[in-house]
Amino acid sequence: MTLRVGEINEINRFPVKSFAGERLGTCTVESYGLYGDRFCAFYDETKAGWESFFTARKIPNMLAYRAMLLDDKISVQSPDGRTFGWNDDLLAEIQKYAKTKVSMTSYMAPNPEDADLMSVDAASVLIITDKSLKKLEAIWGKKLDARRFRANLVVALKEDEFNEVEWIGKRLLIGSSEFQVDTSCERCSLITIDPDSLERDASLLKKVNEELGLMFGVYASVKKTGQIHIGDKVYLV
């Protein structure tokens, strides 16, 4: 049975891990996720695995840099308006915020699909819903910016009774693409950072822990590649 549960309200891509990203009207879905998502990252050569990545948890200022993918090239705008490419100048810029040596890596060429999800956490696509945002905003008692959760897709739900946690183990049809909803997303201190002021408010993570077991949003993997657009209907299989 196929059931319409909502429609795509936002498509967000983050070409550089832990940098601010870009809002898209449409995007190609590849086997590893949204094309261009987390194509590039900064890392510590002395560490291995996920612990090797420099993220906004360690360097909150990373969130003040906005990354875009223009003609398959990374373009980064600094908080003071300067523009960088994915090059040594940007590396020197980020090195200013770290005491240890920062290195950079790119999964853009020649075959990004071979990069084992690149620097994307868990499954390839992170999804949240407008209903869950409103619920958490009520729990927290403060205005909540969806950018804190760095979701690739924000779904506007059709009816109040739908809940994305119930999608786990099922599939979503969006545009010409198909996704498998795999697991809930366990949250960390990154959500405590205001995306504009970079100020921390630990009370948000505390509420997510107390009320939601640290889980907010769901991870999905790609089962069928294709194209998605703002306004595409979301169907649950």
HEC per residue, 2-32: CEEEEEEEEEEECCECCCECEEECEEEEECC
d(CA 131, CA 162): 9
Q: What is the pLDDT of residue 124?
A: 84
Q: Contact, 72 vs 107, CB < 8 A?
A: no
What does the block give as tokens for 55? 């993220």
**Regions of the chain where pLDDT drops below 70:** 108-123, 160-161
Q: Is the pTM of this model over 0.75?
A: yes
Phi, psi of 64, rounded to the nearest 5 degrees = -85, -10
Q: What is the pLDDT of residue 123?
A: 53
What does the block give as tokens for 64? 């003040």
Q: Contact, 133 vs 140, CB < 8 A?
A: no
d(CA 145, CA 219): 20
Q: What is the pLDDT of residue 51?
A: 86
d(CA 182, CA 223): 11
How many residues in total does the chain contain? 237
Q: What is the pLDDT of residue 89?
A: 98
Q: What is the pLDDT of residues 48-58, one digit of tens each?
A: 887 899 999 99
d(CA 91, CA 60): 16
Q: What is the pLDDT of residue 107?
A: 80
Q: What is the pLDDT of residue 112?
A: 46
Which are the contacts of 136, defined by CB distance < 8 A and separation ≥ 6?
144, 207, 208, 211, 212, 216
d(CA 190, CA 205): 9
